[in-house]
Amino acid sequence: MDTKLLGSPFSPFANRAELALKLKGVAYEYIEEVKGKKSELLLNSNPVYKMIPVLIHKDQPVCESMMIVEYIDEFWAVNGPVILPPDPYDRAQARFWAKYVDDKIPTPFRIVIGLLPGSKEDAIQEIQTTLQLLESVLAKCSKGKAFFGRDTIGYLDIALGCFLSWFKAVEMMNAGVNILDEAKMPLLAEWANRFCSDDVVKEVMPEPNVLVEHAKKNAVQAKEN
């Protein structure tokens, strides 16, 4: 198969790449990377950052989750729905807010799930502040549409949506925590429900309870080491 994805079902970044492949109807081989044991293929394909996801297409590696999404959208331009909107201004906006998601969410997210040291409460607060701003972005650009500025799942939906299973897992693990508070972010909460009930999304996104098990196992391993 000339399209391979190096990923992990537990990585929201890998989920992004996989979701883009499935939305475009691209056949691919999934190669799961196991945490803590970087494969030779990964090290050779992404020698700069040594991180998943990596898309290997016709033996050429493409790295960085949102760049992979954009590559998939460009290479398989005629397949399925467009991921980046056709209008240059809408594209610039989608890229801007996807970068905002990547500037603001991964670090506190890693703190919340215990991959980085820090105050979990502060990190959850930080994520909520980011989501509050995205609620206003959605209000401005949705105009009655189901997703960010459009009727189908696009670039910014993928960027943000792939964190939703983990947000739910964190809520399950922390009684009383409500990351995506429906009362404060009604539009985003509805958007999240729509995103998660999409059939293609369901194929890709891990169930929150699977993530809870995974997180517990990681915590036990971390204590043993």
Residues forming the site for a copy of itself (CB under 8 A): 48, 57, 60, 62-64, 67-68, 70-71, 74-75, 88-89, 91-92, 95-96, 99-100, 133
**Shortest CB 55 distance to a copy of itself, Å:** 9
**Shortest CB 67 distance to a copy of itself, Å:** 5
d(CA 160, CA 15) in angstroms, rounded, equals 11
Q: Which is nearer to a copy of itself, 55 or 112 (CB)?
A: 55
Maximum separation of any 2 CA atoms in the chain, in Å: 52
**Shortest CB 58 distance to a copy of itself, Å:** 8
Query: What separation in angstroms does the CA of 47 have from each of 18, 33, 197?
Result: 21, 15, 36
Where on the phi/psi map is residue 205: left (φ > 0), alpha (ψ -120 to 50), or beta?
A: beta
Q: Are 208 and 172 in contact (CB under 8 A)?
A: yes
Q: Which is nearer to a copy of itself, 74 or 182 (CB)?
A: 74
Q: Which is nearer to a copy of itself, 74 or 213 (CB)?
A: 74
**Shortest CB 142 distance to a copy of itself, Å:** 18
Q: Which is nearer to a copy of itself, 48 or 183 (CB)?
A: 48
Q: Which of 17, 103, 97 has the alpha carbon at shortest distance from 52? A: 17
